[in-house]
Amino acid sequence: MDINMKLIEGGVCAAKGFKANGIHCGIRKNRTKKDLSLILSELPASAAAVYTTNLVKGAPIEVTKKHISNGYARAIICNSGNANTCNADGIEIAEKMSECAAVALGISSDDIVIASTGVIGQPLDLTPISAGIPSLAEGLSENGSAAAAEGIMTTDTVKKEIALEFSIGGRLCRIGGIAKGSGMIHPNMATMLVFITTDVSISPAMLQKALSSDIADTFNMISIDGDTSTNDMVAVLANGMAGNSEIVSEGSDFEAFMEALNTVNIHLCRMIAGDGEGATKLLECRATGAKDIKTAKAVAKSVICSSLVKAAMFGSDANWGRVLCAIGYSGADVDVRKIGVSFKSSKGLITVCENGAGIPFSEEKAKEILLEKEIEILISLGQGNYCSTAWGCDLTYDYVKINGDYRT
Amino acid sequence: MDINMKLIEGGVCAAKGFKANGIHCGIRKNRTKKDLSLILSELPASAAAVYTTNLVKGAPIEVTKKHISNGYARAIICNSGNANTCNADGIEIAEKMSECAAVALGISSDDIVIASTGVIGQPLDLTPISAGIPSLAEGLSENGSAAAAEGIMTTDTVKKEIALEFSIGGRLCRIGGIAKGSGMIHPNMATMLVFITTDVSISPAMLQKALSSDIADTFNMISIDGDTSTNDMVAVLANGMAGNSEIVSEGSDFEAFMEALNTVNIHLCRMIAGDGEGATKLLECRATGAKDIKTAKAVAKSVICSSLVKAAMFGSDANWGRVLCAIGYSGADVDVRKIGVSFKSSKGLITVCENGAGIPFSEEKAKEILLEKEIEILISLGQGNYCSTAWGCDLTYDYVKINGDYRT
C-alpha cells in the first residue's frame, strides 16, 4: 500500500497537539541525567497499551491498566532511576505521582498513563517527583520530544526517537515514538518502555487491535538477554487531530495506520536491540521457508536468544554450528537436513551451511562481513513460505560488567 | 535408607571388572591434551543412556542408540576436539571409529557406546583415531579412570570423577563416573558427557528406568548458558560383577541403587556447573514450598538460567529483584506475594525478600556471603510441600572471552 510515508523530525511531538518535556528532578543522584518525562495531548486521545507478561509486575502497570480501561488518556508520565516494583506501597506511590501530574496539568488522574523504570525492590520517594512536576509541566513544548526521550533512558547510550508522516484517506497524519532499552545505572531489569503518539483518529478498540497485532512481530521479537522485565510497556495515544474519518473497523485506513505503526515499531526495535546492554552489534535473524508462522518465529527467536550465537557474533566468528544448535532446541518442528545458513552485512553475504551441513567458505570473507556493526543471520528452512524476523545484540564483556557491578 | 555409602577412589574403574584409558591421538594439535578415551567392561554389561533433546544430534548419538538397543554393551569410546555433528559422513565415521575399537578389543562393534565432543560442522578425520586405538586399548588399566576423564575434557579446568561404595542386599557394590562440562578449545557447544560404571547386577530395563528417572532431578537441572547441546549424553554400564541378585523390579534393592546413582549424579552435576565456561562460582538454587513438582522445577531452573541473576552473582550483588523477575517469567503459577528469597554460603544466610517485597538487610553481610565460591539461592514459595534444586554458575567476562574467540 502506498501511504506516502516519510521520516520527519519531532519524535512524540511530531503529531498535532502533542507536547513533551523531560527534566532531572532528583530521583537520580547524577544531576546531568534527566529522570522524569511527561507527554501531553491537547485533546483526549484513544489509548492502548501492552504490558510485560511477567507475573511480577511494576506497580505503575497496574495503575495504568486501571486508568486506560475506558480507552482514553491525555498524558504519559514516566520516571527513570527506580522501577517502583516489589514495593509494599507501590500502587499508592504510583497513584500519588499520577495525581500530582493531574493537578499540574489540570486534567483527571484517570487520564494518565504512568510508567517507571529502574532498580526494583527499592522504595520510590515521591518527594523529588512531586517537587519537580510543576516545572516539568510548565516546560512542556512542541520541541520537547528529545528531553522526554532522555528522561526515560537508563544505561541506554543513545536516545531513541522516530517520527513519520503518512496519509490516510487523503489526510496527512503523523506518528512518532520514543523508547528506552535495557540497562540501569543501578543495573537491574531490561525494562523496555515505548511511548507512541499519533494524530490519527482511531477508536480505542481498533488502536488496541493495531498495537496488539503489531507487537507480536516487533517488540515481542527482540531479546537482549532473555530476561523478561517486570515493567515493560508499550503505550500509544491517538488524539484524532489529523482530521481523518475515525478508524472504527478494518479496511484500507486501518491498514495504512498499521503500516505506519509497524514502521515506527521496527525502527525502535532495531534501536533498542542495537543499543542492548554492552552491545557492539545489532543482530537481525530472519527465518524463511517455514511451514507456518509459529515455526518461523520460534527459529528466529531461539537463534537471537542463544548466548553462544551472541558471543560468536561479538567475536565476528562465522560459527554456524551454534545457529543450527539453537534451531535444534527451539522446539520448532523443522527438517534439519533442509536448513541453510548465511551471514550478511554491508560487506556482502556468505553462505556457510546448506542442507544441514557445512559447505566450504572463505573464513576471511566471513570475518570481513561479521566485523560490521549490523549483522543479518539468514536461515532458510526449505519447508514452506512463512518467515519471521527477530532482533538482538551480541554478548560482550560490557554486558557482564554492566550487570555484574554492585548496585551501590 | 542406609546403604553404607562411602566415597572411594577409582572413578569409572572403581567398579569390579572395569578398565579405562585416555591418550592424545592427534585430533587436537596440542600434544599435551588427551583427546581419546576408552572404558571397557570385562563382562557384557546392562547399558542405558539418555541423550540430548536437540533436533540437531551428533552422529555418535544415532550410532550409540542403535548399538545399545538390545540393552547391552561392553565398552565406551569417546573423542574430544570434534563433535562429529552436522557432517554429511558423520554416521559412517562414527561406525568406523566403533569398528576400529571393536577390532582392538576383540568384541562386537554393536557392544560399543560411542561419543564425540568438540566443534560441530567440521569433518572428523578418522586417521589419528584409527592409528591411536591399538595403543589406547593396550594401555587399558584399573588405574585408567583419570586418563579417561582427561581425554574427554574440552575447556573444563578440572577433571570430573567420583566413585562410591555401597551395599545392596548385603553385597558390596561400587559405582563411579566421569564427566565433561562445557567448553572447547575451539569453543562451540556445551557438550555435556557423563559415563557411569557400576558392578551392580541390574536388568537393562531397570537400569534405564533408574537413569531416566534420576536425570530429571540432576543433569536436566543444570544450566551453564541455556544452550542445549547437540551431543549431550549420559551413559551407564552395569556389569553385575558385584554379585548381588539381579535387580529386575522396583523394591529396596532398586532404591539402594537409585540412591547411589543419585549421589554420583549430583556430585557430577555440581562439578559441571561449578566448572561452567568462565565460571567463578557454583550456584545452587533451591525452590521450596511449591504446590507441585513442576512449579518447583520451573522456578529453580528459571532463576539459575537468568543472565541477570548470573551476572549479579558474579558481582556478589544481593540483587534479589532479579530473582523475583526470573520467577515471574518462569511460566510457573505462583503467588508473588508469598515469595521469600535468601542467599546462603559458608559465611552464613541472609534473607532479603519476604512476601514478595524487600526487607531491610545488611548489604555488607550480603556481600560477605556472596563473595564465596559456592552460593545457594533459597526461594520459598509458601504454597505447598514440593521442592527442587537446580545448579548453574555465574556469568563472567571469561564466558564471553571463551565463546567470543575465533574458532581458528
Question: Residues A361, A363, A369, CA angle at the centre, nearest 5°?
Answer: 100
A251: CB partners within 8 A, 6+ apart: none
- More confidently predicted of A137 and B213: A137
| Closest B-chain CA to A396 | B400
Alpha-carbon distance of A353 to A339, in angstroms, equals 7
| Closest B-chain CA to A277 | B308
CB-closest option in B226, B328, B336 to A226: B226
Segments of chain B with pLDDT less than 70:
1, 182-191, 224-229, 405-408
pLDDT tier for residue A187 given thresholds of 50, 70 and 90: very low
Distance from CA of A189 to the nearest CA of B (A): 7
Catalytic residue among B191, B218, B263, B295: B191
Please check the confidence at residue A191 and state whether its pLDDT lies above 60: no
Q: For cell 493531574, name the residue.
A: A102
pLDDT (0 to 100) of residue A270: 85
Query: Residue A245 is placed in which grid cell?
Result: 474519518
Alpha-carbon distance of A408 to A59, in angstroms, equals 23
pLDDT (0 to 100) of residue A185: 24
Q: Tell me the average pLDDT of chain A.
A: 89
Q: Are B180 and B193 in contact, with CB atoms under 8 Å apart?
A: yes
pLDDT (0 to 100) of residue A118: 84
Provide the whole-model pTM. 0.80
Contact state of B317 with A357 under an 8 Å Cβ cutoff: no
Contact state of A86 with B353 under an 8 Å Cβ cutoff: yes
Distance from CA of B117 to the nearest CA of A (A): 13
Longest dimension (CA), chain A: 68
Alpha-carbon distance of B346 to B325, in angstroms, equals 26
Query: Residue B369 is placed in which grid cell?
Result: 556471603
Is position B396 annotated as part of the catalytic site? no
Q: Which of A55, A119, A333 should be substituted to probe chain B, the one whose Cβ sees the most B Cβ atoms within 10 Å?
A: A55
pLDDT (0 to 100) of residue A51: 85
Across A177-195, b (16+ Cβ under 10 Å) vs e yields bbbbbbbbbbbbbbbbbbb
- ipTM comes to 0.76
Alpha-carbon distance of A34 to A22, in angstroms, equals 6
**Which domains are assigned to chain A?**
6-274 (3.60.70.12), 282-404 (3.10.20.340)
pLDDT tier for residue A232 given thresholds of 50, 70 and 90: confident
Q: For chains A and B, count residue pairs whose Cβ atoms are closer than 8 Å.
A: 203
Segment A379-399, tens digit of pLDDT: 999 999 999 999 888 888 887
pLDDT tier for residue A189 given thresholds of 50, 70 and 90: very low
Residues of A within 8 A of B86 (CB-CB) are: 321, 324, 353, 356-358
Question: What are the respective helix, strand and coil percentages of chain B, to the nearest 5?
Answer: 35, 30, 40
Contact state of A55 with B336 under an 8 Å Cβ cutoff: yes
pLDDT (0 to 100) of residue B190: 42
pLDDT tier for residue A236 given thresholds of 50, 70 and 90: confident
Query: Residue A134 is placed in which grid cell?
Result: 510543576
Distance from CA of B308 to the nearest CA of A (A): 6
CA distances for B14 relative to A395, B22, B114, B137, B140, angstroms: 42, 16, 21, 18, 14
CA distances for A242 relative to A141, A144, A201, B155, angstroms: 19, 20, 7, 62
Contact state of B408 with A189 under an 8 Å Cβ cutoff: no
Contact state of B395 with A400 under an 8 Å Cβ cutoff: yes
CB-closest option in A87, A320, A408 to B121: A320
pLDDT (0 to 100) of residue A215: 80
Q: For cell 522524569, name the residue.
A: A36
pLDDT (0 to 100) of residue B185: 24
Nearest Cα neighbor of B220 from B127, B305, B312, B317 is B305
Query: What percent of chain A has a predicted confidence (pLDDT) above 70?
Result: 95
Segment A94-134, tens digit of pLDDT: 999 999 999 999 999 999 999 998 888 888 999 999 999 99
Segment A308-342, tens digit of pLDDT: 899 999 999 998 988 998 898 888 999 989 999 99
- The angle that helices A252-274 and A204-215 make with each other, rounded to 10 degrees, is 40
Please check the confidence at residue A276 and state whether its pLDDT lies above 90: no
| Closest B-chain CA to A55 | B328
pLDDT (0 to 100) of residue A265: 85
DSSP B350: E
Question: Residues B99, B104, B110, CA angle at the centre, nearest 5°?
Answer: 35
Please check the confidence at residue A188 and state whether its pLDDT lies above 70: no
Catalytic residue among A52, A154, A191, A230: A191
Q: Which of A302, A306, A325, A338 should be substituted to probe chain B, the one whose Cβ sees the most B Cβ atoms within 10 Å?
A: A325
Alpha-carbon distance of B127 to A281, in angstroms, equals 40
- More confidently predicted of A182 and B89: B89
pLDDT (0 to 100) of residue A287: 96
CB-based contacts of A356-365 (< 8 A; 24+ apart in sequence): A356/A324, A356/B56, A356/B86, A357/B86, A357/B87, A357/B88, A357/B121, A358/A320, A358/A321, A358/B86, A358/B87, A358/B121, A358/B122, A361/A318, A363/A318, A363/B408
Alpha-carbon distance of A14 to A199, in angstroms, equals 9
pLDDT (0 to 100) of residue A182: 65
pLDDT tier for residue A50 given thresholds of 50, 70 and 90: confident
pLDDT (0 to 100) of residue B77: 97
Q: Are A192 and A182 in contact, with CB atoms under 8 Å apart?
A: yes
Contact state of A54 with B121 under an 8 Å Cβ cutoff: no
Alpha-carbon distance of A300 to B371, in angstroms, equals 38
